[in-house]
Amino acid sequence: MAYDSNKLVASVAKTAGAVPLIYGQKVEKALYDADQLGFICEDVSSLISGAGDSVQIPIETSRFSVSSLTEGTITPISARTLNKKAMTLGWYGDAKQWTVESDAVMFKYVLGRDKEQAASAIGENRDLQRLAALATTTTTAVYPVNGSGVHYTEASVVNTAVLTYEMIASAGTSFTMNRLKLGYIIVSPMCLHSLKLDSRILNNNNYNKDVMEKGVLVGLDGTKIKSHRAIATHAEGDSDAVTVYLNYAIVDKPIYYAQKANPVYEVFKENPRERLWTFHYYECFGVLKGRDEGILPLKAAGATL
């Protein structure tokens, strides 16, 4: 094969001025740290243990109910409906390459960290795919409320329309009315920052003593907040001048996740005469949105740092 233009060569390795670093982080920890949104997934990996590149996930779309019973009359049988959704599996991976000459002049930690870096990239990609699944919801997004008590819109949103507790409370009420329970708020760190700056949350006089340690939102309605830097943004408002973050209020485990092939890390020489090492890493999994009503977008501007 031809030399890849992205290979690491000896001249680059030498001029990079690499100095030894403290290296002790485990590959498993790198993957664990990067894979932050696994808790929102219903793991159905056992359903795809056989052959195939897709799986049908059964979805119960009806609700159970009860009715009055009359002595001597047979108990009625109510209707139930099932639907199905297809989860398509995807393969994800990458490769790095370096020459034998570069290997001879580099500190070993440079290549020794490759597997750790790959594990981190794999974990980050899992979260990106989960967020992409959340983004397929058709539920109408909730915006902050302006000074007149009216919700902002995509056209009218302004930079001061940050995430507020009222939006989270509204999401919880909306879920309750749909016989669902709000489980988590997935937000951008910029939106969480604006929430933390809310004087009603920062001021202990508004709540009990040591309110921040106890967790205001958890104490009020059980809501748990998780921030993630990969939350998508949109340009909205007048002349698209406002960066709006697409946060989510979700039920517990609103999406399905299935691991088809666990991460693989390979190091090999494709052709010994080329004097090239190739580091290859990849995995296969699928994600699928569950109940649409269990995902509510919360659009808001971020804090000003």
Distance CA 44, CA 259 (A): 8
**Is 297 among the domain residues?**
yes
Write the DSSP symbol of residue 86.
Answer: E
Q: Do 121 and 177 fall within a single domain?
A: no
Segment 30-41, tens digit of pLDDT: 887 889 999 999
Q: Do 102 and 246 fall within a single domain?
A: no
Q: Do 199 and 124 fall within a single domain?
A: no
Is 210's pLDDT higher than 70?
no
Q: Do 178 and 205 fall within a single domain?
A: yes
**Is 177 among the domain residues?**
yes
pLDDT given at position 17: 47
**Is 238 among the domain residues?**
yes
Segment 165-180, tens digit of pLDDT: 889 889 999 999 988 9
Range of the domain at 247: 165-254+293-301
**Is 150 among the domain residues?**
no
Which contiguous run of DSSP H or E holds residue 53? none
**Is 202 among the domain residues?**
yes
Instruction: Tell me the average pLDDT across 200-229.
Output: 62
Helix axes 114-134, 27-34, angle to 10 degrees: 20
pTM: 0.83
- Range of weakest confidence among 2-16, 85-99, 254-268: 2-16
Distance CA 203, CA 212 (A): 9
Residue 280's CATH number: 3.30.2400
Segment 227-281, tens digit of pLDDT: 999 999 999 999 999 999 999 999 999 999 999 999 999 888 888 888 998 899 9
Q: Do 129 and 188 fall within a single domain?
A: no
**Is 250 among the domain residues?**
yes
Is 203's pLDDT higher than 60?
no
* DSSP β-bridge partners for residue 301: 162, 244
Q: Do 90 and 183 fall within a single domain?
A: no
Which contiguous run of DSSP H or E holds residue 280? strand 276-289
Q: Do 36 and 98 fall within a single domain?
A: yes
The secondary structure of 212-277 as a DSSP string is HHH-HHHHHH--EEEE-TT--EEEESGGG-EEEEEEEEE-SS-EEEEEEEEEEEEEE-S-GGG-EE
Is 215's pLDDT higher than 60?
no
Q: Do 101 and 229 fall within a single domain?
A: no
Q: Do 119 and 50 fall within a single domain?
A: yes
pLDDT given at position 22: 36
Q: Do 169 and 249 fall within a single domain?
A: yes
Classify the phi-psi angles of 275: left when phi > 0, otherwise alpha if psi is within -120 to 50, otherwise beta: left
**Is 141 among the domain residues?**
no
Distance CA 303, CA 305 (A): 6
**Is 147 among the domain residues?**
no
pLDDT given at position 55: 80
The better pLDDT of the pair 107, 46 is held by: 46
Q: Do 287 and 191 fall within a single domain?
A: no
Per-residue confidence band for 224, with pLDDT thresholds at 50, 70 and 90: confident
Q: Do 16 and 130 fall within a single domain?
A: yes
Distance CA 95, CA 114 (A): 10
How many domains does one find in the chain? 2
